[in-house]
Structure 1
Amino acid sequence: MLAGATIAEAQTTAWKPVGDKIKTRWASQVDPAKPLPEYPRPQLIRPGWQNLNGLWDYAITPKTISDIPPATFDGKILVPFAVESSLSGVGRTVGRDSLLWYRRMVPFSAKLKSEKTLLHFGAVDWECDIYVNGKRAGSHQGGYDPFSFDITPLLVKGEQQEIVVRVWDPTSDGPQPRGKQLKQPRGIWYTPVTGIWQTVWLEKVPTSYIESTKNTPDIDRNVVTVSAVAQNAQEGDILRIRAWDKTTMMSEKEVALDATAELPVVNTVLWEPGNPYLYELTVALVRKNKVVDEVRSYFAMRKISRKADAQGIQRMLVNDKFVFQYGPLDQGWWPDGLYTAPTDSALLFDIQKTRDMGFNMIRKHVKVEPARWYYHCDRLGMLVWQDMPSGDLGNQWESRPGVEGKGTEKDRSSLSESIFRREWKAIMDANHNFPSIVVWVPFNEAWGQFKTEEITKWTEDHDPSRLVNSASGGNFHYVGDIIDIHNYPMPVMPAPKLYGKEQVIVLGEFGGLGLPVEGHTWQEKDNWGYQTFKNADELTQRYEGFMNDLVDLIKKGLSAAVYTQTTDVEVETNGLMTYDREVIKIPVEKLEAVHGKLYNSSLVEMKK
């Protein structure tokens, strides 16, 4: 070690991305001393927190039932990048027969020495056990939802606290949700993601504190309903909830802990694409007129619904107006970070470019993003369709509505079904407050699709404030709000007279126009697209023709369409951008212009 250098400096200089695959421009901006330093939870903000991202010890060991950490570790891993990724500094696979261990001695900040300390994980794929100073703090299953533990009783005297994480992830060898991960990636299936892949952090809270909040706008009555869950509350405690328009307090309500407050919104400004107006919110736990705990949040006044047009065809409405929703299928993968964007600027880049291209919607495909991604969508006014990550595949798929008896429901085990239900509920709960999310999608195609009618009804009952697309391109049961067909490469739609009277008609996937760009591909040859072109001019001409086709379909009854896809991913070169985000294959200005014709409100006459 160089004279004068600290241990931390020596460790960070030893870290570097691994592998020979392409990387994004943001890879060079990753600071191993403080990767992804931004506050990770924009919908529930407190000032006292400590980011634990950075270099941890790691080891990969054979899978056993032992909860004893290994005596020695294999090296350093950069959290929160999955162990298989380049930015982790490791680039190793794990698999169902092995365990991944993490360990870090945490310098415990003096500002965190309060009544309670919470240890938060944004996401860990898939099953993990957490130990603090040698004692078990808790366990969690689910690769896409945040979780936390109260570690106060496990803390020891001194400035250093040991945190150990034990992870098991069977990827495609298990029934759990895993999206596009495959242990042997190929085609539309990508590299496994194991372990911590979102921010790890500590938070100080008082003994009695607000654990979560829930807000739902109602533009018909110009109110927002707000409730909260408090831990360790005392008899007589109340919630004091205030809604703010910028720095001006609009309304205030005090309610019992188990009650829901209705706060009037004065001179309501509606949130929608092109006008992403956000209001501030504060929620306080009050005891004997003294604030015990308070969190900051935000909300938007937005409504998603459906209604028949003049032809009697169901249309998808935003704030009671027909708005054709058009966006890319967004996989959310990175060549250097896999599930995890290298920086917050990178995370924002994809959304910003999507908006610049003239899209007003994003379908987040069989993956859930960190909270900051939805926050950026809220700020930029992007509508989001949120998929449930798929898993436990194997049933037969019928891609056309009206073809009865060919598609099959997956006969899931009780374990598989309970995993699905628990994680889908956790995903919906964790992301309820983001106004950008307007559609829940429980199933994609027939990827583990089961008990479709029951799951759809359960999803609708759990969140009646959004529309439900029961099976995007999947086996059709004519339940939920939407009937959704997939077709490559041409845009088509289900027959409006047969299917559009009861459900909104959408084209959930089409396109897939491939163009591998030399120097910007995952591998040099054998790249893949649904239809591959030799140059950008041919690609652009084909794409513009598709937009003209969409205009005709909108007039006939189409309410939304999803183009495959935002970026190339590994060997799949169907992206509007290359995987490293360096080349946009069709000029942004041309895309914005050609998309503009899709949003002409005169295309559809609504029923009076």
Structure 2
Amino acid sequence: MNKYLLIFSSLLLYSFNGHGQKTDWKIAEGKIITAWAEKVDPGKPLPEYPRPQMVRGEWKNLNGLWDYAVIPKAEAKPAAYGGKILVPYAIESALSGVAKTVGKDSSLWYKTTFTMPSSMQKKNVLLHFGAVDWEAEVFVNGIPVGKHQGGYDPFSFDITPALKKGTQVLEVRVWDPSDDGPQPRGKQVKRPHGIWYTPVTGIWQTVWLEGVPKAYIASTKQTPDIDQKTLRVAAAVANGQATDRIRITAWDGNQKIAEQEVAASSEAVLAIDNPKLWSPKTPFLYDIKVALVRNNKVLDEVKTYSAMRKISMVPDVNGVQRMLLNNEFVFQYGPLDQGWWPDGLYTAPTDEALLFDIVKTKEMGFNMIRKHVKVEPARWYRYTDSLGILVWQDMPSGDLGARWESRPGIVGLGRDMERTEESEKIYRTEWNEIMKDLYNFPSIIVWVPFNEAWGQFKTEEITKWTMEQDPSRLVNSASGGNFHAVGHIMDLHNYPEPSMPDPGIYGGKRIVVLGEFGGLGLPVENHTWQSKDNWGYQSFKNADDLFKRYASFIDRFPALIEKGLSAAVYTQTTDVEVETNGLMTYDRKVIKMPVERLKEIHQKLYDTRVKTVANR
């Protein structure tokens, strides 16, 4: 555990530079909470630097207690703000201090004030939002500075023209129709039940300011190629000039191992000699520095990182398609991870809490996580990169309505729903942004556009488009169905017992995986969302019986792997609201099965050898 604490400490990149206010804020009562909830400081909640893939030193955290008001959607602006809300926790959460729902007929307004650091006085100032669910309109000193739609992707505005001397006033209007709208919203519903959870409205990730020069690096893109032993790096420059240059350096600790300077509009190709390959066993990361150079003068510089790793599809000696990591077969096994918290809902109470689930997943002997119909803050992916956890990233679902057909081995069951033009545009825009924003995190190795036919439409077109957007990863087009002859993966959901699709389906051109199974439930008294009517796919009364049943499932996997199974996903990391089928309780205070025994029995999955045409 010490090495995980060291990683945690090393990733506290900069100290909080925010409000620091103290008030009478308290956690809203009524539900269970995690141990980290008591560590939340309303003067500086989530103080850590929020963007580990593009680090600058010039920043100011705006998290803290803001004013809020909920008014009818038709009204232009609140006449007055009626209370305090702790940003960045959604208004429905206990940690917001409010715990109220909003709904499609109302708007949520935020207001705060801040002063500019003296170091930003002569710079352009960017206002960043990690995520706001769902539509946000932002005003600085009464001036509209921008509008954004999308509950899962970060966005920013250059607010320099709106700034004045002295105190600045920031207001944000949010509208979120939850399941009354067609937008991506994952498991959120206005009437929570079963596998559907409490709505999340408003700001749910860090809000911060950043000072940049007039011309600055807006984004970077890193693409490794372990076969060619190269790392391609490109940068987008805002307000640049035609003669600007980009200087890229790669570092192994304190040792510079590669450097190249190219035109700002070009891509650098760094030679990485004797590359250290990233994997769950050896999650090595190279540090990267990207500098914007004009007339031999560095105007701007950001720090980022990358890894040398490859995910691919190759047949084994029997002709069955396999999922390879760095040209070797590695069976992938991990939990379905919803990423929900009893006190923060979408938002982990603290950064330590955010790290905890990943650490426990690793300690239990899993090497993969399927991030289920949710996108996490950037720091979550930084931890999966650092600890060596493979990630399958789902697109958050929305606009449900397709009929689900999931029988494997039967061709032609793919049934798509029809979405409106507006709904399709919303989906494409946000999925594109999610893939672009998460592209640089090496732990992500699979994209999942659809789950169990939830809002599934134009499957072949969307899958091919996803593959074109990112050829460096695999695409699991329809986890659990509806199935089409497209993408890299055929994904069965089967509860509770493990099973697998027919490797010969669609001519044997797909990797076969078990995208969900298990769901073994154990409600633990005093650690449930509600006192009764909790459920799992199969419920148990004690931990011993739960473990025996789980271990019996694991015993079946070596035979399935030999037949062609490349990966499996167990439901799930934690209990969530009325679901009690987690490996841990919702408050993370009880781990239901012994960690060391889990790690021991999981090892047999990785010991099962498969020969492929790439390594025979």
Q: 1:404 to 1:318 in 2, by over 3 A?
A: closer
Q: For 1:406 and 1:323, how far apart are their aligned partners in 2?
A: 30
Alignment TM-score, normalising by the size of structure 1? 0.97
Flag the 1:250–1:605 CA change in 2: closer, same or farther, 3 A: closer
1:558 and 2:568 matched: no
Q: Hey, what does 2:222 align to over in structure 1?
A: 215
Counterpart residue number, 1:89: 97
2:354 corresponds to which letter in structure 1? L
Are the equivalent residues in 1 in contact too, given 2:19–2:62 (CA < 8 A)? no
Match of 2:272 among 249, 265, 268: 265
3-state SS of paired residue (1:598): helix
Alpha-carbon distance between aligned partners in 1 of 2:20 and 2:282, rounded to the nearest angstrom: 48
Partner of residue 583, structure 1? 590
Task: Output the amino acid matched with 2:534.
Answer: N
Aligned to 2:342: 335
State the match for 1:106 in structure 2.
114
Partner residue in 1 for 2:148: 140
Per-residue deviation, residues 502-555 of structure 1 (Å, max 9, x unmatched): 010000000000000001000000001100011111110000000011111001
Check the 8 A contact 2:321/2:509 in 1, yes or no.
yes
Superposed CA offset, 1:251-307 (max 9, x none): 111111211110011221000001000001011110000001110000000000011
CA distance in 2, matches of 1:25, 1:356: 20
Q: Report 1:465-504 matches (<5 A).
A: 465-499=472-506, 501-504=508-511
Aligned to 1:298, the other structure's residue is in SS state strand
What's 1:392 paired with?
Answer: 399
Is 1:311 the equivalent of 2:318?
A: yes
Q: What code does the residue aligned with 2:391 have?
A: V
Q: Is the 8 A contact 2:315 2:612 kept in 1?
A: no
Is 1:545 the counterpart of 2:547? The answer is no
Partners of 1:606 and 1:568 in 2: how far apart?
Answer: 41
Quick one: which of 185, 196, 199 aligns to 1:192?
Answer: 199
Post-superposition offset of 1:474: 1.5
Superposed counterparts of 1:113-132, under 5 Å: 113-132=121-140
Aligned ranges for residues 244-283 of structure 1 at < 5 Å?
244-283=251-290
**Contact kept in structure 2, 1:328 and 1:362, CA below 8 Å:** yes
1:378 alignment counterpart: 385
Deviations 1:459-491 (CA, angstroms, capped at 9, x unpaired): 000000000000000100021100000000010
Q: Is the 8 A contact 1:396 1:407 kept in 2?
A: no
Q: How many residues align?
A: 598
- Equivalent positions of 1:151-230 (< 5 A) are 151-158=159-166, 160-230=167-237
3-state secondary structure, aligned to 1:518: coil
Contact 2:316–2:610 (8 Å) recurs in 1 = no
Among 79, 84, 88, the residue aligned to 1:80: 88
Q: Cα 1:402–1:581, aligned 2, differ >3 Å: closer, same or farther?
A: same
Conservation of the 8 A alpha-carbon contact between 1:499 and 1:505? no
* Structure 2 SS opposite 1:39: coil
- What secondary structure, in the 3-state scheme, does the structure 2 residue paired with 1:496 have? coil
CA distance in 2, matches of 1:500, 1:15: 60
**Counterpart pick for 2:74 among 64, 72, 75:** 64
Identity value in percent: 66
Deviation at 1:74, TM superposition (A): 1.6
CA distance change for structure 1 residues 99 and 9 in 2, over 3 Å: closer, same or farther? closer
Amino acid at match of 1:156: K
Is the contact between residue 397 and residue 445 of structure 1 (CA under 8 Å) also seen in structure 2? yes
| 2:504 match: secondary structure | helix
Q: CA deviation at 1:115?
A: 2.1
Select between 579-588 and 231-240 the one with higher mean Cα deviation.
Answer: 231-240
Structure 2 unaligned regions, length at least 5: 1-17
CA positional deviation for 1:408: 2.3
Question: In structure 2, how many angstroms separate the alpha carbons of the residues matched to 1:132 and 1:311?
Answer: 63
| Equivalent AA in structure 2 for residue 263 of structure 1 | L
1:45 pairs with 2:73: no
User: What residue is the counterpart of 1:3 in the other structure?
Assistant: none
Q: State the 1:110 CA deviation.
A: 1.6
- Separation (CA, whole Å) in 1 of partners of 2:23 and 2:143: 32
SS of equivalent residue, structure 2 residue 605? helix
Structure 1 partner of 2:10: none
Distance in 1 (CA, whole Å) between partners of 2:512 and 2:20 is 58
Cα distance in 1, alignment partners of residues 22 and 573 from structure 2? 33
Aligned to 1:369: 376
Q: Deviations over 1:39-77 (max 9, x none)?
A: 0000000000000000000000000162xx312112000
The answer to whether the 8 A contact 1:251-1:265 is kept is yes
* 1:406 to partner: Cα distance: 5.3
Shift of 1:402: 3.9
- Which structure 1 segments of 5+ residues have no match? 1-7
Alignment of 1:454-473 (within 5 A): 454-473=461-480
Distance, in Å, in 2 between the alignment partners of 1:115 and 1:10 is 24
List, as ranges, runs of 4+ consecutive aligned residues in structure 1 with deviation greater than 4 Å: 8-11, 404-407, 603-607
Q: Which digits, 9 at most, give the CA deviation of each residue in 1:227-264, with x for residues without a partner?
A: 01001112311111111111111111111121111001
Q: How far is the alpha carbon of 1:575 from its aligned partner?
A: 0.1
Whether the 8 Å contact between 2:412 and 2:483 is mirrored in structure 1 is no
Residue 606 of structure 1: how far off its partner (Å): 5.2
Output the CA distance in 1 between the equivalents of 2:466 and 2:388: 24
The alpha carbon displacement at 1:405 in A equals 5.8
